[in-house]
Structure 1
Amino acid sequence: MPHDVSVIGLYILDVLGRPVTRIPDRGNVDFIEEIRLTVAGTAGGTVVDTAKLGLKSLAVGAVGDDEKADWVLLTLAKHGIDTSAMQRIKGVPTSATILNVRPNGDRPALHVRGASDHFDVPPAAYAQVFDAPIIHLGGTGLLKRLDGPASVTLLKEAKRRGRTVTFDLIAASAETIGIVEPLLPYIDYFMPSIEEAKDMSGQATPEDCAKFYLDRGAACCVFTLGGDGAYYAHRDGTRLRSPAYEIQVVDTTGCGDAFDAGFIAALHHRMDVETSLRFAQASAGLVATGLGSDAGIVSFEDTLDKMKNWKIKQ
């Protein structure tokens, strides 16, 4: 197989500025330390990080026909990512977000939905898209055309071909469970944040959330708990909590995407569960130390080094 992972879903251009304490009055200007452009989104952020972690990665998503699309495709290619499965959709803008990153890491966002709403994976693309042992679907909830029955068809096909399916979503609410529940029987690793897991299930604890999703068909739940680390629950009965690392947080944009990428890399390298969680945590921790969803991660070896040497939060 030419690829290690195929990353399907939400591709966004992020414009980030920090630290933003307020929006200036009238037409006035305030000065900040840093502005960055990054490829982001629950697929875009993840595919950049899997590539940085040394995996041969295929990007599967959509951009518009604007200047933002040129930048996104160029940047993906710069990271050695195969962009031949990316769609360019005429007459729509590339999905994009302006993020005002506050000193505490909060990041109120302004978003243009754009091309990701028009993205689907036609059966003609299956041979290419599923030509990887791991298939990640990221961004359910902001993929208007792909959300729903089209995603069921997609993941069913991935499982029919014997692929490992990892899954993450975005902007989940109580309503999102309607889209997510039919997908659960085709998901090997269900990886939302604990906030999203709670909002969709109505449950209060990681343990109860996990039971909710496992009962509905997911093989395994891996919840990110922010500063409290991660929680792993497999239908074979395995339950694990992994604490976070002691780091100086700059910006939490893309930490979940980086966690996904780290976990996918761990699956690729056949790490045991505990090491997989630690490696995913280190990947997320690295991204939190800089601005944007591609910050911090340099390589597989460097991330492994951080995993072994960083201090664990007590």
Structure 2
Amino acid sequence: MAKSFVSVGATILDIVGYPINSIPQGESTEVIQNIHLCAAGTAAAPAVTAARLGMQSSLIGAIAEDEAGFLIRHKLQQEGVDASLLQVRDDLPTATTILPINSDGGRPNWHQPGAFLLMDISAEARARIVNADHVHWGGIGLLFNYDGPAGAEILAEAKANGATITGDLISPGPQTPDAVRALIPHMDYFMPSIDEALEISGASTVEAAAEFFMQQGAFGCLIKCGSDGAYLTNKDGLVAKIPVMANVNVVDTSGCGDSYCAGFQVGLANGMAAEDAALFAAATAAQVASAVGSDGAVGNFEDTIAIMQAGAMPVEAQA
């Protein structure tokens, strides 16, 4: 039976257009190649990726009873993600982002904040989290009701029950360092981007940033460094630089970091050592980068293993 994966936090509808290199003037129309809708954000996107890679995946987040919320639930159902415990709120809309991806893969965006910011975790949702095999806390600093003791208490219980726990964030603000400090002691691996890691830690190098977070209580760090790969370290003395996959025709990098988090957890769930799980994560993110949207072109577990072992995307995938 597949191990359970529960992703908690940022739940966003992404509306992605590609390629968009300029805004049409006046009321003129420009024909583009692709408009894609997907369940996104630092919790919903990992939930989708984990489901595609064979895990029993659930999402704990919040939406509104609006069109965007309907579309998110529909997309999650299509992907085999259990969305039955999503909270539906009436005080905020469903968070939504419009991403006009340009021909170089750049991703400027317009964002409407929404319901996940004030999400409440029901007793049933809490039970799902604390009894999961794998938990990803996606949205540190933006889950305002759970960025302190309430969130730490849930993660501590999940950890005591044997869960493997990872955490990620997006758009750090003044409140984020305190949220990280509260939650990180209960995490196996903290997984920020390099820019986020340096901003929050005040460090000038990836190595110093990772050490800062481990001193705050994380067992390990896997810091995502974009085209430079990732930096992996833990308190057992592991230090590794994880390369990116070769032959990736980069179309859209939105969601690459989220898929990396999910891929790492899937690797660990399948018995991989941390370094191999990080390589599996890189193979997962490569598939996302090669297509439009945070779900990208992620295939199944076997396809991703083949990419990982080759260290490159298949040539035919780049046509």
User: Shorter-chain-normalised TM-score: which range?
Assistant: over 0.9
Q: TM-score, normalised by structure 2?
A: 0.93
Matched residue type, 1:287: V
1:185-196 alignment, distance < 5 Å: 185-196=185-196
Q: Describe the shift of the 1:243–1:124 C-alpha distance in structure 2 as closer, same or farther (beyond 3 A).
A: closer
Deviations 1:104-160 (A, max 9, x none): 111111111111122021345322332211111101233233333332222222223
| Structure 2 partner of 1:237 | 237
The answer to which of 41-50 and 23-32 deviates more is: 23-32
Matched residue type, 1:50: A
Q: Does 1:13 align with 2:13?
A: yes
Give the match's secondary structure for 2:29. Answer: coil
Distance 1:187 1:117 in 2: 21
| Structure 2 partner of 1:292 | 293
Q: Describe the shift of the 1:39–1:272 C-alpha distance in structure 2 as closer, same or farther (beyond 3 A).
A: same
Deviations 1:198-234 (A, max 9, x none): 1101111111111111111110000111001111010
Matched residue type, 1:198: L
The answer to which of 157-166 and 205-214 deviates more is: 157-166
Distance 2:146 2:109 in 1: 23
1:1-314 alignment, distance < 5 Å: 4-123=4-123, 125-173=125-173, 175-246=175-246, 247-311=248-312
Distance 1:265 1:130 in 2: 18
Distance 2:156 2:33 in 1: 46
Distance 1:272 1:157 in 2: 24
Unaligned runs of 5+ in 1: none
Q: TM-score, normalised by structure 1?
A: 0.94
Give the match's secondary structure for 1:36. Answer: strand
Q: Describe the shift of the 1:2–1:90 C-alpha distance in structure 2 as closer, same or farther (beyond 3 A).
A: farther
1:170 shift after superposition? 0.6
Contact (CA 8 Å) 1:97, 1:112: kept in 2 or not?
A: yes
Give the match's secondary structure for 1:281. Answer: helix
Q: Describe the shift of the 1:55–1:2 C-alpha distance in structure 2 as closer, same or farther (beyond 3 A).
A: closer
Contact (CA 8 Å) 2:230, 2:242: kept in 1 or not?
A: yes
The answer to which of 139-148 and 112-121 deviates more is: 139-148
Q: CA RMSD in A?
A: 1.7
Q: Describe the shift of the 1:143–1:27 C-alpha distance in structure 2 as closer, same or farther (beyond 3 A).
A: farther
Distance 1:259 1:275 in 2: 13
Matched residue type, 2:182: P
- Residue identity over aligned pairs, in percent, reads 39
Distance 1:62 1:3 in 2: 24
Runs of 4+ with >4 A deviation:
none
Distance 1:79 1:173 in 2: 32
Unaligned runs of 5+ in 2: 314-319
Contact (CA 8 Å) 1:6, 1:130: kept in 2 or not?
A: no
